[in-house]
A and B are shown apart, each in its own frame.
Chain A
Amino acid sequence: EDKVVQSPLSLVVHEGDTVTLNCSYEVTNFRSLLWYKQEKKAPTFLFMLTSSGIEKKSGRLSSILDKKELFSILNITATQTGDSAIYLCAPNNNDMRFGAGTRLTVKP
């Protein structure tokens, strides 16, 4: 059975802090790993990772995939209150199951 585990489930930090969110997975027919940010409505796409060891960056966010150890991390540096959201990861295979998500709260 496919498994997706995200940690921590919840995280409270102050503006300016750096956070690392974890996603581990065990799925069949793995093709890529997707990260999403969800605020009030539907998730918005952040990254798609297909190759191990190649960091993807978008502003203060970056992510990397380790296909051997079956995990990915999402880093956010110099956090801002606008980063408060649920961050979801999903291995891309025939099914698209999400992890439980990490609820990040950034305090001023």
Chain B
Amino acid sequence: GAVVSQHPSWVICKSGTSVKIECRSLDFQATTMFWYRQFPKQSLMLMATSNEGSKATYEQGVEKDKFLINHASLTLSTLTVTSAHPEDSSFYICSAKAPSGRTDTQYFGPGTRLTVL
């Protein structure tokens, strides 16, 4: 089956620093990738939709200057949390759409746990 990787799987950083999270589709080309954030005991909240070669579409309330998304190739999307603060501590998960017949199937990465001190 399709595989999506994320790196790093966990990161601890100081307040004010920037953190980059990579999401790769390993055995398929993903024209669309999604970035989610999940706080404890809550569902996945869509942050942005990332399309290869174009600007990401952000959900309402998500600051595009704080959460920079770059979908530079069909297999790689990156999320950079700039000037991270403790309230940005969360579980960040990416997913990639792989065409499956007439409809698309979505595959998740394993997630990145970010802790901002």
A92 touches B106 (CB 8 A): yes
> What residue of chain B has the Cβ atom nearest to residue A96's Cβ?
B34
Chain A residues, Cβ within 8 Å of B18: none
A48–B105 Cα gap in the complex (Å)?
8
Considering only residues 75-117 of chain B, those with a C-beta below 8 Å from chain A are: 93, 95, 97, 100, 102-111
B111 touches A88 (CB 8 A): no
Chain B residues, Cβ within 8 Å of A41: 110-111
* B54 on interface, CB distance cutoff 8 Å: no
A95 touches B46 (CB 8 A): yes
Considering only residues 21-56 of chain A, those with a C-beta below 8 Å from chain B are: 31-32, 34, 36, 41-45, 48, 50
- Count of chain A residues near B, Cβ 8 A: 24
- Select which of A31, A32, A43 is within 8 A of B108 by beta carbon: A43
Known: A92-B103, A92-B106. A100 touches B43 (CB 8 A): yes
Known: A41-B111, A42-B111. A92 touches B43 (CB 8 A): no
Known: A96-B34, A96-B95. A50 touches B103 (CB 8 A): yes
Chain A residues, Cβ within 8 Å of B108: 36, 42-45
A36–B111 Cα gap in the complex (Å)?
15
- Select which of B44, B49, B103, B111 is within 8 A of A95 by beta carbon: B49
Could you jot down 5 A-B contacts, CB within 8 Å? A45-B105, A94-B49, A96-B46, A98-B46, A100-B42
Residues of B within 8 A of A (CB): 34, 36, 41-46, 49, 93, 95, 97, 100, 102-111
